């Protein structure tokens, strides 16, 4: 990774570090791969600092991360903010009593779940994922948290794909969003 100029913004550095993989996982999809961003310690720190600065004064009760890349960002953010971390997993991965939410994908449906004791009524949660495409996963996570009485104060992601209208759907459902970069196309 080449050094950024002093005038380059944090968001420019982050965006430049995201690799586009054409035609993966299927033809026509432009996959936004965050692994190069995670591999570079300077850029990863810039990313985490952007989220920490956003939520430092907000003081959420916990950070909830969506399976699986939301775990990477969410757990580090929770650590930096000195709050708990809540994993929202794909169905069948959690050992205790769970609550589930099924949602539609472009190619079928999926189910996410979390432990029934993960939050208490009134807990203030930031919900984190790597990317917002159609918004289905984040919407399901929000519904799970709300079903258990938590208040989702904001959804956060590194990347928004606005053409897929997921961020618009989430905002229309009442979820404030914070994203760092957006990419045209999908």
Quick check: is 4 in a domain? Answer: no
Number of domains forming the structure of the chain:
1
Quick check: is 85 in a domain? Answer: yes
Quick check: is 18 in a domain? Answer: no
Quick check: is 14 in a domain? Answer: no
**How far is residue 23's CA from residue 149's CA, in Å, rounded to a whole number?**
40
Quick check: is 36 in a domain? Answer: no
**CATH number of the domain bearing residue 167:** 3.40.50.2020
Residue 109 sits at the vertex; the CA angle it makes with 103 and 115, to the nearest 5 degrees, is 55
Quick check: is 77 in a domain? Answer: yes
Model confidence band, residue 4 (pLDDT cutoffs 50, 70, 90): low
Report yes or no on whether pTM surpasses 0.85: yes
Instruction: Write out the residue range of the structural domain in which residue 135 sits.
Output: 58-182
**How far is residue 126's CA from residue 162's CA, in Å, rounded to a whole number?**
21
Closest by CA position to 65, among listed 135, 10, 15, 137:
137
Quick check: is 23 in a domain? Answer: no
pLDDT tens-digit readout, 40-93 = 999 999 999 999 999 999 999 999 999 999 999 999 999 999 999 999 999 999
> Could you tell me whether strands 30-33 and 19-22 are parallel, antiparallel, or unpaired per DSSP bridges?
antiparallel
Quick check: is 101 in a domain? Answer: yes
Half-sphere exposure of 50 (CA within 13 A, CB side): 20
């Amino acid at each position: 990774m080449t050094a950024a100029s002093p005038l380059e913004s944090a968001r420019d550095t982050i965006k430049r570090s995201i690799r586009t993989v054409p035609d993966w996982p299927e033809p026509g999809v432009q996959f936004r791969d965050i692994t190069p961003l995670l591999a570079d310690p300077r850029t990863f720190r810039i990313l985490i600092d952007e989220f920490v600065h956003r939520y430092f004064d907000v003081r959420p009760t916990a950070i909830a991360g969506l399976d699986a890349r939301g775990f990477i960002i969410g757990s580090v953010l929770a650590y930096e903010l000195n709050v708990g971390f809540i994993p929202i997993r794909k169905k069948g991965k959690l050992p205790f009593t769970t609550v589930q939410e099924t949602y539609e994908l472009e190619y079928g449906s999926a189910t996410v779940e979390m432990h029934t004791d993960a939050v208490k009524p009134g807990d203030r949660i930031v919900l984190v994922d790597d990317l917002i495409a159609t918004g289905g996963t984040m919407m399901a996570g929000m519904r799970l948290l709300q079903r258990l009485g938590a208040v989702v104060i904001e959804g956060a992601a590194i990347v928004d794909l606005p053409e897929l209208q997921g961020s618009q759907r989430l905002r229309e459902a009442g979820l404030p969003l914070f994203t760092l970069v957006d990419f045209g196309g999908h």
